[in-house]
A and B are shown apart, each in its own frame.
Chain A
Amino acid sequence: MSQELEKYLQQALGKLEVLRRKIGETQGYNEEAQLVRMLEELLKEQKPHEDTRHTAHASR
């Protein structure tokens, strides 16, 4: 994975985490929070391989 892409992934994950916390504090676990969690998990699956081939078994 290129360092640049890794930087972008990390940055996006950071932004989503902040947003998730904000939603959690103000609205609880609602639809928006679920969408954010889905995007977070999708991003995490990209991290080990640039080509998105990360097997899901390793992380739950």
Chain B
Amino acid sequence: MKILVTQLTRLGDIFQTWPVLRAIQRNHPDAEIYFLIRSRFAAAAEGLEGVHVRVIDFKDILTPLIQVEPAVEGSMNRLRTVLDELVALKFDRVINLTFSPFTAYLCSWLDQKGVGAVQGYSRHLDGTLKFGEDFSKYFYAQGGRDRWSRIHLTRLFAGVAGVDLDAQDWRPPTYIQPGHRSGIALQIAGSEAHKSVGDIVWISIIRELRKFYQGSIVLLGSETEKSVAERIENSLPEGSVVNRVGQTSIKEVFQIIAQSELAIAPDSMGLHVATLTQTPIINLSAKSVNFHETGPLSEVSIILTFAEDSDLSSARVSEAVRAILSGNPAEFKFGWKRRSKFLEGPECYERATSERPDTLETMKDFQWSICEGLYFEGRLEKEAPENFVQALVELFEMNEVVLDCLTRMSEGAAPQKFSAILDRSDEVLQAISQIVPAVGPLVRKVYSDKCSIAPSDLHGIIENTRKAHEVFRDEVNALWSIYNKEEVLEAP
């Protein structure tokens, strides 16, 4: 059997896919596994055993188009060549772990050419989005930036691939030899500017560490972060750090982090390398990052969140370092910590007792609990945010209007009469969830349920849409009865 796994995003997602590839190998020991990644990130697959790496060069495909006189035909030919090469490999299965519009088209193309069934995003024959299984539909509805999902991407990828993960799936590349760990590795920048920590903070953290830590402190980063690293180095007493920023290959970063007794990193390659090498880590996580989805999975992981640099006191970071180096990370009372068991429950982290969540985090706690209730039969928060029950009433009333329209259409009324109302209804549901974000998971779920309706005749589409709205009504009703502590809502 030949399996194609596509991961066409960036370094972080590629590293988070490694355990899934290993799980696929374990589940299909005789399969030939191909891993499709972007050519500029090919180095991120070095040392990954047992897979054929295929690369796709976006720049090459787009070059004819990005000219003074765009040559569409040239780019189309290049793209077609890439697709033809993939089709010629005659895969039996395609596992798309990239939640992007482009890969949905790409995998749909492969599907239409008779290449095996697609798991993950694809497209129906009319070009509308198609979910190959429930996990990608879940991510579409509840995952991604600014949302509330608390399922780690690696585990979500495993769900899309239909495999169970095992602790042994997190292991370093083949070129890493186990050995004695010493020193602390600091990745000084995040994968994007808004995820990074300022040089002043790093200087303060290193000064604090140097009060008790005599081992080496190695700075890591890319070529573009050299000037920041120099500022850090020049602001500290000579010999305080070993500055390797802009001087390391991915292999060398793996070697340095795998040999360190601790890594400190924002959302970055270093974080994922620490996870694969099971290096204890302190993740400095910007509020804009959903660390539940992309955070560290090292057995010893502490996550310190920050909205502004000033939130990260060097004393607090130092306290976390001391807790980890002394072998008692459980003693650290702030931030979030990795749960003790590797694969326990959908939520990977637990908040330390002294961490007081802010308003936004409290809202996300609630939204996540609604997700758990809707998808995983999980617990619900005891108290709902203000206006939640009122928003449920408004959702219910709008939904009744939609159901009425759909019932009349299924009884033969002309669809044109109702199309404007139905179009507006989605906007109204969306507007309610913007005013009262606590109902966001509910609205996103019905939206994804409707998105996943396959093309068919008008009657089929009406019936399936009606079913989606009936499920929505039941869900709204159930939550209303829990939080309002009364019976069911009546149709207006």
Q: How far is the CA of A43 from the CA of B61 in the complex (A)?
A: 10
Task: List the B residue with the shortest CB-CB distance to A16.
Answer: B72
Residues of B near A42 (CB, < 8 A) are: 58, 61-62, 102
A-B contact count (CB 8 A): 98
Residues of A near B300 (CB, < 8 A) are: none
Least distance between A16 CB and chain B CB atoms (Å): 7
Least distance between B246 CB and chain A CB atoms (Å): 16
Residues of B near A16 (CB, < 8 A) are: 65, 72
Q: How far is the CA of A41 from the CA of B101 in the complex (A)?
A: 6
Residues of B near A21 (CB, < 8 A) are: none
Q: How large is the interface on B (under 10, 10 to 19, 20 to 34, 35 or more residues)?
A: 35 or more
Task: List the A residue with the shortest CB-CB distance to B106.
Answer: A38
Q: State the interface size on chain A (CB cutoff 8 A).
A: 31
Tell yes or no: B145 within 8 A of A by CB: yes
Quick one: given A35-B80, A39-B62, A42-B58, are A56 and B98 in contact (CB under 8 Å)? Answer: yes
Residues of A near B70 (CB, < 8 A) are: 8, 11-12, 15
Residues of B near A33 (CB, < 8 A) are: 127
Q: How far is the CA of A33 from the CA of B380 in the complex (A)?
A: 46
Tell whether, in the assembled complex, residue B76 and residue A41 are in contact, meaning their CB atoms are under 8 Å apart. no
Q: Which chain B residues numbered 66 to 80 have a C-beta less than 8 Å away from chain A?
A: 66-68, 70, 72, 75-76, 79-80
Per CB-CB distance, the 8 closest pairs between chain A and chain B, nearest first, are: A56-B100, A41-B102, A57-B144, A12-B65, A41-B101, A12-B70, A38-B105, A8-B66
Chain A residues with CB under 8 Å of chain B are 5, 8-9, 11-12, 15-16, 19, 29, 32-39, 41-46, 52-53, 55-60
Chain B residues with CB under 8 Å of chain A are 8-10, 13, 38, 40, 58-59, 61-62, 65-68, 70, 72, 75-76, 79-80, 98-103, 105-106, 108-109, 125-127, 129, 140, 143-145, 191-192
